[in-house]
Amino acid sequence: MNLELSEEQAAVRQLAKDFVGREVTPHVVEWDRAESVDRGIVRKLGAVGFLGLTIPEEYGGSGGDHLSYCLVTEELGRGDSSVRGIVSVSLGLVAKTVAHWGDEEQKRRWLPGLTSGDLIGCFGLTEPGTGSDAGNLTTRAVREGGGDYVINGAKMFITNGTWADVVLVFARSTDAPGHKGVSAFLVPTDTPGLSRRPIHGKLGLRGQATAELTFEDVRVPASAMLGREGKGFSVAMSALAKGRMSVAAGCVGIAQAALDSALRYAGEREQFGKSIAQHQLIQELITDISVDVDAARLLTWRVADLIDRGEPFVTESSKAKLFASEAAVRAANNALQVFGGYGYIDEYPAGKLLRDARVMTLYEGTSQIQKLVIGRALTGVSAF
In terms of Cα–Cα distance, which of 275, 278, 324 is closest to 302? 324
In terms of Cα–Cα distance, which of 250, 370, 249 is closest to 302? 249
Name the helix (H) or strand (E) containing 258. Answer: helix 232-268
Name the helix (H) or strand (E) containing 185. Answer: strand 182-188
| DSSP-assigned states of every residue in 118-160 | SS-EEEE---SS-SS-GGG---EEEESTTS-EEEEEEEEEEET
Q: Are 326 and 360 in contact (CB under 8 A)?
A: no
Encoded amino acid at 318, one letter: S
Q: How many CB atoms lie within 10 A of CB 361?
A: 20
User: Rounded to whole angstroms, how far apart are CA atoms 139 and 173?
Assistant: 9
| DSSP-assigned states of every residue in 186-208 | EEETTSTTEEEEE----SS-TTS
**Helix, strand, coil % in the chain, rounded to nearest 5:** 55, 15, 30
User: Rounded to whole angstroms, how far apart are CA atoms 243 and 52?
Assistant: 15
User: Rounded to whole angstroms, how far apart are CA atoms 360 and 351?
Assistant: 15
Name the helix (H) or strand (E) containing 213. Answer: strand 210-220
User: Rounded to whole angstroms, how far apart are CA atoms 211 and 189?
Assistant: 12
Q: Exactly one of 23, 127, 212, 364 is catalytic; which is it?
A: 364
Encoded amino acid at 262, one letter: A
Does 364 participate in catalysis according to the annotation?
yes
Catalytic sites, residue numbers: 364
